[in-house]
Amino acid sequence: MRYMLLVKTPPSAWEGWEGPVDGFERTIEFMGKLNAELTETGELIDAAGLADPTVGTTVRKRDDRVVIIDGPSPDGADVIGGYWVLDCDSFDRASEIAARVVAFDGVNSPDVIEVRPIMDANSGQEM
């Protein structure tokens, strides 16, 4: 079954971001090794970090019209900083992988990862 792991970060984590800081290489190395392991096991479908949320837009419907706002949603909720799409045997396995990332103590490593099954015709997942 496929799962999406959504890396969540508070908007404040991006404030003043001008690129990798000292020690960030250790985090990149950890992520690279994890991705290589997941590729070897056949579980990795896709993974990427996302750009600073201020360079994106939020599109939503309000009072029957479409409103486009520069940057992340102004409600202050966490933003998606990156993701993995995995093909795992179980929800527990996907959660175990997310837990490894959250447990890693590196510079700019995520504190929150949401694990969600990806619905498809064969998954048995209900909307």
Domain range summary for the chain, segments of one domain joined by +: 2-13+25-117
Quick one: CATH architecture of 2-13+25-117? 2-Layer Sandwich (3.30)
Q: What is the pLDDT of residues 93-106, one digit of tens each?
A: 999 999 999 999 87
Give this prediction's pTM: 0.83
Q: What is the pLDDT of residues 42-74, one digit of tens each?
A: 999 999 988 888 888 889 899 999 999 887 777
> What is the rounded average pLDDT of the residues 13-20?
65
Q: Which of 102, 107, 105 is nearest to 25 (CA)?
A: 107
3-state DSSP call for residue 70?
Answer: strand
